[in-house]
Amino acid sequence: VALPALVLGAGLLAAAWRWLRGAARPVRGGSMRGKTVIITGANSGLGRAAAAELLRMRARVIMGCRDRARAERAAREIRAEVGERADGAGELVVRELDLASLRSVRAFCHRVLQEESRLDVLINNAGIFQCPYMKTEDGFEMQFGVNHLGHFLLTNLLLGLLKNSAPSRIVVVSSKLYKYGEINFEDLNSEISYNKSFCYSRSKLANILFARELARRLEGTGVTVNSLHPGIVRTNLGRHVNIPLLAKPLFNLVSWAFFKTPLEGAQTSIYLASSPDVEGVSGKYFGDCKEEELLPKAMDDLVARKLWDISEVMVGLLK
């Protein structure tokens, strides 16, 4: 008797919370007509929501995705949702990009540089969360390799096009969980020890430090760089997290009630990519479309520069 009553009570509380919160559709920014945007991991979750909204703003959106078939299916669904425009403005393009393979990153960038005359926004969105210990094609711990190193190489290879297209923007999706991470230069590849939660947090701290150092290096170029946390969002990012079977109904109810939808979670990415409010703003950290304070370890410029130097060697930009 107690368990059904608990579930029912939680359901009523959840419904009330969602009603009070309103789950309002956020106000969109201005037109992105004539602008080209690359979004990594755009076939699901936050990336898919951002792709749909920026397409609505008439941007040319390049979906950089590991699974081409899934990406093509997502693109068809997005086009159906948004609708074709009579004036032909707005376009969705699918390109294969596996951030766990430096070879794939280079091939993607080579094609972009050959085919695209401009790049106005790069959204580093894709990520992997708390996976079992595994390595990328190039031998890097998967979370650090995908979340940080893959995007590090991608961004550096596209910097020339971004500079030529200035004013342009780079948006780096991090997480509040950066607070639990540390940059251990003695074991960046987790060869000595591996904790899936810690390694995710470390990769998200690396994202922020990368954005901070990149913003410093790009001062005066017209290219801005900002990082963000999307909040707790209902996506498939947590597919590696094991939830006991009996707890799943309650977890699903709680996530429905209290977690953000992908569209709600993508708002800060969309804001940083399109809003005139942040024109010229660089090197900052945002949440819910507002600037937020960082812990001192995420503002350590010496660590940021050392991480940059080591990352350059790891991805082969420097010997």
Kindly report the CATH number assigned to the domain that includes residue 64.
3.40.50.720
Distance of CA 47 to the CA centre of its chain: 7
- Quote the pLDDT of residue 231: 86
Residue 149 in any domain: the answer is yes
Cis amide linkage into residue 167, ω under 30° from 0: yes
Measured between alpha carbons, how far is 79 from 83 in angstroms, rounded to an integer? 5
Measured between alpha carbons, how far is 67 from 58 in angstroms, rounded to an integer? 25
Q: Is 212 in contact with 301 (CB distance < 8 Å)?
A: yes
Candidates 133, 178, 180, 200; catalytic one: 200
Burial track 6-38 (b if 16+ CB lie within 10 A, e otherwise): eeeeeeeebeeeeeeeeeeeeebbeebeebbbb
- Quote the pLDDT of residue 232: 85
- Quote the pLDDT of residue 254: 47
- Quote the pLDDT of residue 83: 78
Residue 19 in any domain: the answer is no
Q: What is the pLDDT along the chain (319 residues), one digit of tens a residue?
A: 554 555 445 555 544 445 445 444 454 557 899 999 999 999 999 999 999 999 999 999 999 999 999 999 999 999 999 975 545 568 999 999 999 999 999 999 999 999 999 999 999 999 999 899 999 999 999 999 999 999 999 999 999 999 999 999 999 999 999 999 999 999 999 999 999 999 999 999 999 999 999 999 999 999 999 999 998 865 554 454 555 555 545 444 444 445 689 999 999 999 999 999 999 999 999 999 999 999 999 999 999 999 999 999 999 999 7
Please give the single-letter amino acid code of residue 152.
F
Question: How many distinct structural domains can be found in the chain?
Answer: 1
Residue 36 in any domain: the answer is yes
Residue 2 in any domain: the answer is no
Residue 18 in any domain: the answer is no
DSSP 131: P
- Quote the pLDDT of residue 27: 47
> Phi/psi class of residue 94: alpha, beta or left (left: φ > 0; alpha: ψ in -120 to 50)?
beta
Residue 223 in any domain: the answer is yes
Measured between alpha carbons, how far is 75 from 20 in angstroms, rounded to an integer? 33
Residue 127 in any domain: the answer is yes
Residue 20 in any domain: the answer is no
Phi then psi for 285, rounded to 5 degrees? Answer: -125, 130
Q: Tell me the residue range of the domain where 173 lies.
A: 28-315
200 labelled catalytic: yes
pTM as predicted: 0.87
